[in-house]
Amino acid sequence: MTNTARPTHTREIHLAARPVGAPVATDFAFVERELPPLADGEILVRNTWMSVDPYMRGRMDDAPSYIPPFALGAALEGSAVGEVIESRAATIAVGTLVSHFAGWREHAIVDAATATPIDPELAAPYQFLSVLGTTGLTAYAALTDAAPVRPGDTVFVSAAAGAVGSVAGQIARALGAKRVIGSAGGPVKARKLLDVFGFDAAIDYRGGDLTEQLADAAPDGIDVYLDSVGGEHLRAAVEAMNQHGRIALVGAISGYNGDTDRPAPDLYLAATKELTLRGLLVTSYLPLFAEYIPRAASWLADGTLRTAETVYEGLDQAPAAFLGVLTGANTGKMLVRLE
């Protein structure tokens, strides 16, 4: 039986220092604090799962961006799911499972208007942080809107063994792509692209020249590229693109730790090929959840979509999980189980 007793204190992880280059363990602090009473309209959630994601690295810098930076000495935040153990909101009852944005802590006081009830009959709760969460939505929005896949296309996906990429390759197939190529780091991950996620070809970008490997995997060129890496991957993709190709710019993890010595794409070549390079923020596509979740749930149910997760256990392992996702330690979605 689930313990729903209200705790008096909780633990959370704060940003102790702004990283210089790659984050280290001492940039994080564990803090125990008292839980105050709820105000009207608030709920208290016992978090059971939380997500760590590459974009969080940018929020650790005190620099203007599309989302405010994390505050020093305050709890980090990110997507989480959990059970409501106290409610002062008529819209969400005690015992409801919800997703929200107050991760990096064992208990969260959340405005009920910002929490979304989830249906555990549809999928396991943690999948609302991965394939049925913003991870899956990112892949879907990229391949249906930012760089739409058309029947017969050849699609290239970088970071293809990761959270977004592993889903994106399978969605591309479901949308009618004739050939799906993925790039991953190391032979083990490359093999999983073929054996687990159903890619037609897998590139180990550590195993040789990326441009040559992509040319071998796509001798007739590529039509769509989902970019989560930037740098050499984006340059190679532009070279391999067919006329009127489409590129969805989802991330650029190769530069998240401040590395500015990265190859740039040939934009003149992009112009002469009449390519479309379009950036994507998943926050602009949240209304698409209403279309995406039923479709993705049906793909999960019939086996069209397969998922993988890398799970760290306990809040104290959240920083290690985050550092791992920046170095590609995960296959599929990186998650932290808190219960």
CATH, residue 214: 3.40.50.720
Give me the domain span that covers residue 85.
9-130+307-337
pLDDT digits over 133-178, tens only? 999 999 999 999 999 999 999 999 999 999 999 999 999 999 999 9
Confidence (pLDDT) at 291 = 96
User: Does one domain contain both 126 and 140?
Assistant: no
User: Does one domain contain both 273 and 199?
Assistant: yes
User: Does one domain contain both 252 and 313?
Assistant: no
Q: How many domains does the chain have?
A: 2
User: Does one domain contain both 242 and 331?
Assistant: no
pLDDT digits over 280-336, tens only? 999 999 999 999 999 999 999 999 999 999 999 999 999 999 999 999 899 999 999
Pairing of strands 97-100, 116-117: antiparallel
What pTM was estimated for this model as a whole?
0.91
Residue 300 in domain: no
Instruction: Encode burial over 121-160: b for 16+ CB neighbours within 10 A, e otherwise.
Output: ebbbbbbbbbbbbbbbbbbbbbbbebbebeeebbbbbbbb
Looking at the DSSP bridge assignments, the partners of residue 204 are: 184
Mean of per-residue pLDDT scores for the chain: 95
User: Does one domain contain both 89 and 33?
Assistant: yes
Confidence (pLDDT) at 4 = 53
d(C-alpha 49, C-alpha 37), whole Å: 23
- Residue 248, pLDDT above cutoff 70: yes
- Residue 260, pLDDT above cutoff 60: no
User: Does one domain contain both 122 and 155?
Assistant: no
d(C-alpha 15, C-alpha 78), whole Å: 13
